[in-house]
Amino acid sequence: MGFFDGLGEKIASTGKDVASKAKDVAEITRLKAEIAAHEGKIKNAYTEIGRLFYENADGEVAEAYVPLMEAVSNEKAALEKCKSDIHKIKGTTVCINCGAEVPADASFCASCGAKIEKADPEVVHDMEEGVKEPQTDEEMAEEAANEAAAENSEEAGAEAAEDASEAEKTAE
């Protein structure tokens, strides 16, 4: 019977160890989730700080911010172009009063009743140059291809500079 008594004690001890480890794992998981939540709140706060800085930057800003602010402006313009393209494909527009999506041929918004302003679809707006001359679809496609090529070139240059910097550090 001594064997069974020792076996019972070993099982009880192992059970306590397993329960203790499970409790530790659960606590670590809870703490990791809490860390992730805090990191998310910090990221959101940083994002809000950046948004406020971008929106309220009047006049000169430090040189380090210029490329980032230009990138935000470029992405906003690209975002609006994509939204505009979606509305063009769907044959809709957006009410400037309430933001509702309405048919492009509507005269009034079905949600709020506001008069829908008709925009000239052929006029292309450029944030830096104001209003450009009307463009054909081929001209717009060529311009988009040129912009994409320029972006790819800039990204490749930045990657090459980063690789060179890392190579210098490694050589030292």
Whether residue 131 has pLDDT greater than 50: no
Highest mean pLDDT among 49-63, 111-125, 127-141: 49-63
CA–CA separation, 172 vs 168, rounded Å?
6
Residues of the chain above pLDDT 70, percent = 66
Residue 148 and residue 137 in contact, taking contact as beta carbons nearer than 8 Å: no
Token pair recorded at residue 168 = 């210098």
130-131 and 101-103 beta bridge pairing: unpaired
Instruction: Return all residues near 145 (Cβ < 8 A) that are at least 6 apart.
Output: none
Average pLDDT over residues 144-160: 55
Nearest to 105 by CA among 124, 84, 123, 119: 119
Whether residue 30 has pLDDT greater than 80: yes
